[in-house]
Amino acid sequence: MKLYDYLPSGNGYKVRLLLSWLGEDYDFVALNIHAGDTKTPDFLAKNPAGQIPLLELDDGRVLAESNAIMFYLALGSDYLPTDAFAQGEVLRWMFFEQYKHEPSIAVARFIHNYAYEDRKRELPALMKKGKAALDVMEGHLNNYDFFVGDKLSIADIALYAYTHVGEEGKFDLKSYKAIRAWLNRVKKHPNYIKITDIPK
């Protein structure tokens, strides 16, 4: 397999983290989204949306969208429940991540990291929406160790990716005791890797 990715990307990190947990071998193809690497004719032929991550299978098929890639990779593993309702719960949290969480927490991080002065006017609204998403997570984690069932799943990876670097977007996690405890539980996985770790 080949994973076309940009190392600082939380969406790409989701896939890299799951691949590490699964012990899967793959080729890491580093792309620079700021240099237009995802807008070349060759890449657009693979993913017309011009986005990473993109997983290319050994048979040449390609799969885009981080959460879809994770769902595919997790099939038959310990990171996706076999119970239909539990699978629905996994998808619920993954949809929540993409609709309520990532558009605020990830975008605020992007604006701060790359000093997009013309977009800083967006930050107050992003902070409000991001805190609302964190509040939902905190409420759930006050009662549960993980997002679905009693063990790690791809729902945890989906929400972990941008939450654990939330402070780069100026989200203060100090008051979120349950979230911080959950972040530590995720980090204890024996095959844990950091977002900055370059795949070998």
Same domain as 98, residue 47: no
Same domain as 38, residue 62: yes
Q: Over range 179-186, report the average pLDDT.
A: 98
195 located within any domain: no
Model confidence pLDDT, tens digit, residues 62-88:
999 999 999 999 999 999 999 999 999
Model confidence pLDDT, tens digit, residues 122-138:
999 999 999 999 999 99
193 located within any domain: no
Same domain as 126, residue 37: no
pTM of the complete model: 0.95
- Burial degree of 117 (CB within 10 A; 0-12, 13-18, 19+): exposed
Domain range spanning residue 140?
84-187
79 located within any domain: no
Asked whether the predicted pLDDT for residue 23 surpasses 80, the reply is yes
Which of residues 11, 41, 74 is at a domain's end? Answer: 74
Asked whether the predicted pLDDT for residue 115 surpasses 80, the reply is no
Same domain as 121, residue 63: no
Split into its structural domains, the chain has a count of 2
Same domain as 180, residue 94: yes
Model confidence pLDDT, tens digit, residues 26-58:
999 999 999 999 999 999 999 999 999 999 999
- Partners of 55 in the beta sheet? 3, 63
* Residue 115's CATH number: 1.20.1050.10
How far apart (Å, rounded) are the C-alpha atoms in residues 131 and 134? 5
Same domain as 104, residue 40: no
